[in-house]
A and B are shown apart, each in its own frame.
Chain A
Amino acid sequence: MKLLKALIVFLILVILPVINADIIMPGEKVVTIENKIININDFPDYAFIAVKSGPISSESIAEVVGVDGVIPNFYKFTSVSVYALKKEKLADLPAVQTPENIELFLLSSGAVKVISGLQSYKTVPDSSPQSVETKNYVVNLNKTINADETTQPDSISPQFDETLYIGLTISIIALIGIAFILYNRRARK
Chain B
Amino acid sequence: MNLIPLFAALLITIIIEFVVYFIIVRKNPQELLLYSVLINSFTNPLANIANGFLSNFLLIEAIVIIVEILLINALFKIDYKKAALISVLANIVSAIIPFIFIFF
Contact = CB atoms under 8 A, between A and B. Distances in A.
A174 B42 contact: yes
A12 B53 CA distance: 30
Given A16-B101, A22-B98, A164 B49 contact: yes
A6 interface: no
Nearest to A182: B74
B71 interface: yes
Interface residues of B, number: 48
Contacts of A178: 38-39, 42, 71, 74-75
B95 A22 contact: yes
B10 interface: yes
Contact of B1 (A15, A29, A162, A168): A162
B13 to A, nearest CB: 5
A125 B48 CA distance: 8
Nearest to A24: B95
Interface of B: 1-6, 8-13, 15-16, 18-19, 29, 37-49, 51-53, 55, 57, 60-61, 71, 74-75, 91, 94-95, 97-99, 101-102
Given A4-B29, A16-B12, 10 more contacts: A12-B19, A20-B5, A22-B12, A22-B13, A23-B9, A25-B98, A122-B55, A125-B48, A128-B52, A168-B49
8 contacts: A12-B19, A15-B12, A26-B99, A125-B48, A125-B51, A158-B52, A167-B48, A174-B38
